[in-house]
Amino acid sequence: MLKNFNPVRTTALACLLCAVATRLSAADPVTVVKTAAAVKKSAPGLSRAGKGIVEVPRQCAQCLSLPLGLTQMVFSPLPEVTFKDGLKNTGRGLVAPFKLCIAVLEMPYEVVCGLGDAAGA
């Protein structure tokens, strides 16, 4: 899928889209002001929806703390590796699957409520 990925072409396309959007929005200043006001009002709702979506991968990454902590405890006699850090990471890793389940169950609610707040603003 990314075999034909060209960063120069992607950057040029993004710049072209920004230029077109700027040109279209500069045509009517009243529309620009109304759009900016609508975006400002809907920002908290969109932020809530984004936080709900981002929480799932964050908690998924925290699940990797368990093997990291166990490895740190095993290699604690080595310099720069402490048993205390291994215990902390092991504790985080043991709690992480439960937090992941909660985040997965809360995500649809947060997204729907956040988008509802953004649309109602």
Which DSSP string do the residues of 13-27 spell out, in sequence order? HHHHHHHHHHHHHHT
Give domain status of residue 88, yes or no: yes
pTM over 0.75: no
Give domain status of residue 12, yes or no: no
Whole-number Å distance between alpha carbons of 88 and 69: 7
Question: Helix crossing, 83-120 with 65-74: angle to 10°?
Answer: 170
Give domain status of residue 29, yes or no: no
Q: Count of residues for the chain?
A: 121
- The tens-digit pLDDT sequence of the chain (121 residues) is 456 656 666 666 565 555 656 665 555 777 767 766 776 777 787 788 888 888 899 999 999 999 999 999 999 888 888 999 999 999 999 999 999 999 999 988 888 888 887 777 6
Whole-number Å distance between alpha carbons of 74 and 14: 48
Whole-number Å distance between alpha carbons of 43 and 11: 27
Residue-number span of the structural domain to which 93 is assigned: 41-120
pLDDT at position 1: 45
Give domain status of residue 111, yes or no: yes
Give domain status of residue 91, yes or no: yes
Q: Give the chain's domain count.
A: 1
Give domain status of residue 66, yes or no: yes
Whole-number Å distance between alpha carbons of 59 and 109: 17
46, 67, 108 from 115: Cα distances, Å: 6, 37, 11
pLDDT at position 17: 56
